[in-house]
Each structure stands twice: as structure tokens, then as C-alpha cells.
Amino acid sequence: MIQASGLRKVYGETVALDGVDLHVRQGEIFGVLGQSGAGKSTLLRCVNVLERPTAGTVTVAGQELTSLTGQELNRARQRIGMIHQHFALLSSRTVAGNVAFPLEVMGVAKPERERRVAELLDLVGLSGKAGEHPARLSGGQKQRVGIARALAGNPSVLLSDEATSALDPGTTESILALLRRLNRELGLTILLITHEMNVVKSVCDSVAIMTGGRIEESGPIRELLARPGSRLAAELFPLPVPEPGTVTVTFTGQADEPVISHVVRKFDVDVSILGGALEEVAGSSVGRLRIALTGDESGAALSYLRERGLLVEVAA
């Protein structure tokens, strides 16, 4: 649905994007995780060409946006919704007026506009607030207005720039649940950027980890966690740097099987548990365990764990 290739963006001396490739599949929620200054917002603005990349191409829904200008680009952009950290609502307009705004710009006639606004407010659970002004709404309600407005043009893609960063944890969860519902019910592809691992954990199917204008690692979360040396696993499960010879076992989906007790029973080994954690990620349990194995059959025990589909990494 979104394909970015070789994106570069330079502001004077600053290289905000340094060769970014991004591949977002239709119908997924794709997170870009990175610290402040990593280039996330620049990437998002390049995806809908609010910002022209210095080099590289962006294709959304089969259309190369970086080759378009003027009216053609505007029309293509209408199929891409965007929501923001600070909501960017028009304070002088009511909730309904804010959602109607993009429809007015698109030239949608009044009766159709009113029908559509009512439908959108219903979709985000704000039907009772149509006549209110933004100042009277809570943060979560403001973001719901932002989401309704972003969906006005029936986009196939929604871009979210830290949409929950100004919200408290409970409200964040409710907005993320709404995004997940819209993703499922409308088949909406969502590209969301965030500096919070919790956001990635609770809604993303895939993730890209971004540092210094580059993507360090990207792909479906389950695949990344099963990959040796995963940055995502290291960030999700902060364990100390392992002592040489210690073993880190990553469970993706087998977290409820008593594999460690099997190992101890089947092989002549002792297992010391040095650390570990269990996390709920992308709807399933993922665990990481740091262990030390001793005994003559340590090698065979590790092979057994690998045969069970666990990722087994032995520190050098």
C-alpha cells in the first residue's frame, strides 16, 4: 500500500532522512518507532509529499506521488488521511464544522456533506457532540474529531503522527482501540509513528525502528522477534549485556509450554535463570529468558530448544 524507496531529506546541514525504504502492506498497522529527532515526522510528511524528498520515490496505492504536482497531487492526497499529536482542530468551528471542512474543500454538496459528517461522528462515537466547540472537549474527544476529519475523504491510508502522545494512558488505549477497529472494519492501512513502545505493543502488526534518519530494522513484529540480534527484542526486553556463554531464549507463541522443565528432565543439565520477562505483543505472548546451562548435555539441550521453534542465542 505504501512503498518508499531511497528516501532522503536534507535541511541545510541536517540529514533528516538518510536513505529510507519502507514497505507497508495493505490492511496492516505499521509503526515507526524512534526517539525525538529520528526523522519520523519528516518521513510521514514525505509519504504524503507535504514535504518533497530530496531524493527517492513514494508510491501509495499504486500511484507514484513523488511524480505528481498540483491538482493531481491534491487529488491523490485526499485518499490519505492524517492525524496529529495536537489535533490541529479549528477552534472557531464546531465538531461537525471541523469534520465538514475537508468535504467543503472537496466540493461535496451540503446535503451529502451533512449525511457524511453524521456518519463519521457516529463512527468515532461522537454523535452527541456535533454542536460543541473543540475547547469544550477532552483530549481523547478532540482526537476522535481529528480521526473523523481524517476519514472524510474515504482514505485508504491513515497517517498518524504521535496521535496519542498528548493523551493519558487510559485515553491512549481507547484511541488505539478505535484505530484498531477502523483498521479491521474499513480495511484501513495505518502508518503510525510513535516514540512509545507501548503503542507498538498494543496495536502494530509491523514495525520499523528508526534512528538518525535511518531504519535499523523493519518487518512483521512476530518475524522480527524470532530473528537473531533483533533490536526490537532488545528494546522490548531490556536485559543486561549477556556474559559470554549465557543463553537468551525467545518464545514467540510457545510461552505457555513448559520447555525449560522438559529440558531439565530430558537432559543431564542444570539451568540457572538469570532474568527474563513476558510481554503481550501483537495479540500474543512473547517471552525472553536469560539462562545459564551447565552439564555434559548442554549442546543437546540447546538443539532441543531450537527444534521446539525457540530462538536460542548464545552470547560469544
> Pick from 11, 67, 105, 306: which binds ligand ADP (CB under 6 A)?
11
In the complex, least distance from residue 19 CB atom to Mg ion, rounded to whole angstroms: 19
In the complex, least distance from residue 196 CB atom to ligand ADP, rounded to whole angstroms: 12
* Angstrom distance (rounded) from CA 232 to CA 236: 6
Continuous H helices in the chain: 40-47, 70-77, 95-105, 110-123, 139-150, 169-186, 197-203, 221-225, 231-236, 259-266, 298-307
* Angstrom distance (rounded) from CA 27 to CA 152: 18
**For the packed helices 169-186 and 139-150, what is the interaxial angle rounded to 10 degrees?**
20
> Pick from 8, 19, 28, 37: which binds ligand ADP (CB under 6 A)?
37
Residue 108 burial (CB count, 10 A): 18
Q: Nearer to ligand ADP by C-beta: 14 or 272? A: 14
In the complex, least distance from residue 208 CB atom to Mg ion, rounded to whole angstroms: 14
Q: Nearer to Mg ion by C-beta: 80 or 120? A: 80
Is 14 a residue that touches ligand ADP (CB under 6 A)? yes
Residues 23-52 contacting Mg ion, CB under 5 A: 41
- Name beta bridge partners: 291: 247, 273
Is 40 a residue that touches ligand ADP (CB under 6 A)? yes
Is 13 a residue that touches ligand ADP (CB under 6 A)? no
Q: Nearer to Mg ion by C-beta: 87 or 304? A: 87
Q: What's the half-sphere exposure (Cβ side, CA atoms, 13 Å) at 110?
A: 0
Q: Order of strands, edge to edge, in the sheet holding 2-11?
A: 14-24, 2-11, 55-60, 63-64
Is 164 a residue that touches Mg ion (CB under 5 A)? no
* Angstrom distance (rounded) from CA 56 to CA 2: 13
- The listed partner (Mg ion, ligand ADP, none) that binds 14, CB under 5 to 8 Å by sort, is ligand ADP
Q: Nearer to Mg ion by C-beta: 41 or 141? A: 41
Binding footprint of Mg ion on the chain (CB under 5 A): 41
Binding footprint of ligand ADP on the chain (CB under 6 A): 11, 14, 16, 34, 36-42
